């Protein structure tokens, strides 16, 4: 296979401290050599080896492709009216998901697939090279299984979220719905997913129900993730850490015990600032988590109700402005942090042996992602060694 060198990179974030300065392993006047789908060499431009192809970065900055470890892309319908009402004073609750459930059930496979394809491409243009996405807007055996089949056509990081809310069909019998989620629905969905998730929250599933669902999924070979402590204090974070979940997502309302659990466990705290932006809710305190020693990821939570953005750069800017993160911490969390939340070591870094995922910025430094919020700075993207955008 042909080799390619990307040279004349003004500032390269490797996320490997052995390759450069500081926790981000930053190199100045850098070059990266790609062979097939892998990075095979990283260093200064003057020392770059000969290759078949050469790309001049023109003094642009480069960083690993963003790893968005939390999204909900298999959906149909529109919730503009709900957003408009919320911005006019109505509070957010989990119940709005039912609107999307109805639209998604009514949509064809082709329409759902086209929607996922659209948002994956949209994210890729903004530098996202790895993207997790979930079911959760079907809430029947057939609709959840088809959502996962459609998602799996676009990403390897597929999550079974039959426990998004209690299905409207079981509003009077939540226990029967939990039986469905852990029985026939799980049987149909497990072959198409890597992860199992549950929305552990008031208005969705309590701690006991969440434990039942996650342990059933784990018994079928799915690794837990948890929507935890978004709208209120609750058992989600503690349950995630106890069960060895890869990630506890949202983490907006945390006790000191929750923070300690995350700092001392293997579960990543995934923060989703797009949700707080779109619901005018309290911001997660990233500074508190980082100072305690927790591993923090940033993701978009792209969904039609509470965070309709696919932009990781936007989430980085929010995290720096409103969540106490430095630009370096936010970039790490949006790349290596997301990889940790997906238990991946092949992505989220630019180092020999890593998958060749990287983004060029029309800027001299990664700091511009927060410094110039809302500006489309990503000028080129490579995913698995292929120039995609």
Burial degree of 174 (CB within 10 A; 0-12, 13-18, 19+): middle
Residues 6+ apart with CB under 8 A from 18: 25
Which position has the token pair 């109505």? Answer: 90
Quote the pLDDT of residue 92. Answer: 66
Decide: 147 and 135 in contact? Cβ < 8 Å: yes
Q: Where are the alpha helices (DSSP H) in the chain?
A: 80-87, 97-106, 109-125, 141-152, 174-182, 184-189, 207-219, 236-242, 256-264, 273-279, 286-292, 312-322, 327-332, 338-341, 368-371
Quote the pLDDT of residue 130. Answer: 98
User: Tens of pLDDT along 49-77?
Assistant: 999 999 999 999 999 999 999 999 999 99
Quote the pLDDT of residue 27. Answer: 98
Q: Strand, coil or helix: what is 21? A: strand
DSSP assignments along 83-105, one per residue: HHHHHTTPPP-GGGHHHHHHHHH
Quote the pLDDT of residue 89. Answer: 86
User: Tens of pLDDT along 13-39?
Assistant: 999 999 999 999 999 999 999 999 999
Query: CA-CA distance, 210 to 213, in Å (whole number)?
Result: 5
User: Tens of pLDDT along 195-220?
Assistant: 999 999 998 999 999 999 999 999 99
Share of the chain above pLDDT 90, in %: 94
Computed over its alpha carbons, how large is the radius of gyration of the chain? 20
Quote the pLDDT of residue 85. Answer: 86
User: Tens of pLDDT along 75-109?
Assistant: 999 999 888 988 998 876 655 788 899 999 999 99
Could you tell me the sign of the dihedral formed by the alpha carbons of 212, 140, 193, 273, in that order? Answer: negative
Quote the pLDDT of residue 95. Answer: 58
CA proximity to 103, closest of 168, 188, 175? 168
At residue 238 the predicted structure's pLDDT band, cuts being 50, 70 and 90, is very high
Which position has the token pair 């029967």? Answer: 176
User: Tens of pLDDT along 352-377?
Assistant: 999 999 999 999 999 999 999 999 99
Quote the pLDDT of residue 81. Answer: 87
Report, as an integer, the average pLDDT of 378-383. 98
CA proximity to 270, closest of 246, 292, 298? 298
Across the chain, mean pLDDT equals 96
């Amino acid at each position: 296979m042909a080799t390619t060198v990307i040279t004349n990179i003004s500032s390269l974030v490797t996320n490997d401290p052995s390759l450069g300065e500081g926790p981000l392993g930053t190199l100045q006047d850098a070059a990266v050599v790609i062979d097939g789908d892998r990075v095979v060499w990283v260093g200064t431009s003057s020392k770059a080896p000969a290759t078949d192809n050469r790309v001049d970065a023109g003094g642009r900055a480069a960083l690993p492709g963003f790893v968005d470890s939390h999204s909900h892309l298999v959906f149909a319908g529109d919730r503009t009216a709900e957003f408009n009402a919320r911005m006019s004073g109505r509070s957010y609750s989990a119940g709005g998901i039912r609107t999307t459930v109805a639209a998604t059930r009514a949509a064809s496979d082709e329409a759902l697939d086209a929607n996922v394809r659209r948002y994956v491409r949209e994210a890729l243009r903004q530098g996202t090279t790895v993207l997790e996405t979930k079911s959760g807007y079907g809430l029947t055996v057939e609709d959840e299984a088809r959502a996962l089949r459609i998602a799996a056509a676009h990403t390897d990081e597929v999550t079974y979220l039959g426990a998004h809310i209690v299905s409207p069909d079981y509003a009077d019998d939540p226990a029967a719905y939990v039986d469905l989620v852990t029985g026939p629905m799980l049987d149909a969905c497990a072959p198409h997913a890597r992860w199992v998730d549950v929305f552990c929250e008031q208005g969705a599933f309590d701690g006991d129900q969440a434990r039942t669902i996650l342990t059933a999924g784990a018994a079928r070979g799915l690794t837990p993730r948890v929507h935890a402590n978004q709208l209120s204090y609750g058992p989600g974070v503690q349950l995630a850490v106890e069960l060895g979940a890869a990630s506890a997502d949202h983490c907006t309302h945390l006790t000191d015990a929750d923070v300690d659990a995350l700092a001392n466990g293997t579960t990543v705290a995934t923060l989703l600032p797009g949700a707080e932006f779109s619901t005018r809710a309290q911001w997660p305190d990233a500074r508190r988590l980082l100072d305690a020693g927790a591993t923090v990821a940033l993701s978009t939570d792209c969904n039609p109700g509470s965070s309709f953005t696919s932009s990781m750069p936007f989430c980085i800017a929010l995290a720096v402005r409103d969540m106490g993160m430095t630009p370096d911490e936010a970039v790490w969390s949006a790349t290596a942090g997301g990889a940790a939340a997906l238990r991946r070591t092949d992505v989220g870094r630019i180092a020999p042996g890593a998958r060749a995922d990287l983004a060029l910025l029309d800027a001299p430094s990664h700091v511009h992602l927060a410094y110039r919020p809302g500006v489309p700075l990503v000028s080129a993207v490579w995913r698995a060694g292929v120039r995609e955008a």
